[in-house]
Amino acid sequence: GAGVSQSPRYKVAKRGQDVALRCDPISGHTALYWYRQSLGQGLEFLIYFQGNSAPDKSGLPSDRFFAERPEGSVSTLKIQRTQQEDSAVYLCASRTVNEQFFGPGTRLTVL
Amino acid sequence: GQNIDQPTEMTATEGAIVQINCTYQTSGFNGLFWYQQHAGEAPTFLSYNVLDGLEEKGRFSSFLSRSKGYSYLLLKELQMKDSASYLCAVNRDDKIIFGKGTRLHILP
């Protein structure tokens, strides 16, 4: 399997709990993107990485959201003190020059 | 900033042809993606246009006019499995921003 993988696939959190979502991109892809999609809505840009740096963090909704990609491969999106409005599918994608491929997503439900 | 517009919903008949338009306004432009997304699934890559003109891939074709800020996705010989949302996304200096998507309904 050479595609983008994400874990966990489903996460239920109690309000106020911290969560960490993982993305394994396609090997060799230097660009990695995080989006979130609420039910019936479009994709909301969160952040992207080129290697291990994040040129644009403007989409992160609040300072409770943090993402890292320390070695330029696997990335983790962390959400602190989760709120009900954080419930969504969090999608990761990795990219070559002319193609971008998505992982299956992590469905986060905050109770 | 950027603004990406697509029709919210469209309906077409099995076997027919449908064109889904996307217009964009952005301060920088490197290319435009099209994706297909079935309900409950992640988006799947269809095409990426960098230069003006039409690119054909089987039943699907994508067109781009950079001067007009306009693209379309053309689907031929529609099949029931083409019922999905179609997402247009603009690459602005490697930041890829999506439109809200067009939900395509196929009637038998």
| Centroid of chain to Cα B99 | 9
Measured between beta carbons, which residues in chain B are less than 8 angstroms from residue A104? Answer: 41-42
Q: What is the pLDDT of residue B26?
A: 85
Measured between beta carbons, which residues in chain B are less than 8 angstroms from residue A94? Answer: none
The shortest C-alpha distance from B15 to chain A (Å) reads 27
Give the pLDDT mean for B66-80.
Answer: 97
Average pLDDT taken over every residue of chain B: 95
Q: A25-73: per-residue pLDDT in tens?
A: 999 899 999 999 998 889 999 999 999 999 988 899 999 999 999 999 9
Percent of chain B with pLDDT over 70: 98
CB contact under 8 A, A42 and B44: no
CB contact under 8 A, A45 and B50: no
Considering CB atoms only, which of A33, A50, A104 is closest to B96? A33
User: Letter for the amino acid at B108?
Assistant: P
Residue A34 has which token pair? 């995080």
Q: Which residues does residue A50 pair with via DSSP β-bridges, in sequence order?
A: A31, A53
Beta strands (DSSP E) in B2-108 are 2-5, 9-13, 18-26, 31-37, 44-49, 53-57, 60-65, 70-75, 84-92, 95-98, 102-107
Q: Is B91 a residue whose pLDDT tops 70? A: yes
The shortest C-alpha distance from B51 to chain A (Å) reads 12
Q: B41-68: per-residue pLDDT in tens?
A: 999 999 999 999 999 999 999 999 999 9
Q: What is the pLDDT of residue A16?
A: 97
